[in-house]
Structure 1
């Protein structure tokens, strides 16, 4: 059986596009359950209100959402402020932060429920929930 170069090229393009697709909003978080990290959390600036996130959803400062570099969209994460012990559960719907030392970027609402936004950054522990 002989396959044309056009057919091989088309199959290669499809394979590449499939590999570049993002995880679905209700991605399987089972393999991530219990995953923990420690580092700094920041929060979204007001200028991002109503802008599209990497998942395609609009950023809303009043919702409990967050950005993480690798966790699947839709993953629920408990974020705990290590200084005061307060925690909040957020849903991952964006990518980032891309600043060394920062592990999660919280919505303003999520950040203010565990820390003071005047601080800008807080030290946190995160744990992926089932």
Structure 2
């Protein structure tokens, strides 16, 4: 019995020191490409969200969430509804409307920012289940999207 416990503890200790597996949540993703309607060439920036205005588009990774969060409070104090067209973003003001377009299939939807996240490096917006369904990314989980600010609250 003691040998089994020792082996389990050794395995747990080993997993603590392992790095992220390629493609896992900790995997490094390339920086997003940001486009300005006033510029003709794409450019890279670390945190352009602080500079985004209604004349800029930006491209990044979108994921979605819903199960496990439905009915719980969002960062702005609303109750999260996975069937509403909402999204989480790290810095955009609550109430901001964003046009999100899936670059794989061209499907779009307008979401309202009401939560904070995503908390996985390399991702830029977390869509509700309903928004993910609208842009056709439920199966993929994570896709590259174009995001355009429609209005600030």
Assess same fold via TM > 0.5. Answer: yes
Structure 2 unpaired stretches of 5+? 1-51
Task: Give the stretch that moved more between structures: 59-68 or 112-121.
Answer: 112-121
Which of residues 19, 32, 35 is equivalent to 2:53? 32
Task: Output one character per residue of 1:53-105: Cα deviation in whole Å (capped at 9) or x when no partner.
Answer: 00000110110000001100000000000011110000000011121221100
Q: TM-score, normalised by structure 1?
A: 0.73
C-alpha distance in structure 1 between counterparts of 2:131 and 2:55, whole Å: 20
SS at match of 1:52: coil
- Structure 2 counterpart of 1:50: 71
- Structure 1 counterpart of 2:150: 129
Q: Could you say what the CA RMSD is over the residues aligned between the two structures, in angstroms?
A: 1.3
Corresponding pairs, count: 100
Q: TM-score, normalised by structure 2?
A: 0.62
Structure 1 unpaired stretches of 5+? 1-30
Structure scoring higher RCO (CA < 8 A, sep ≥ 6) equals 1
SS at match of 1:32: coil
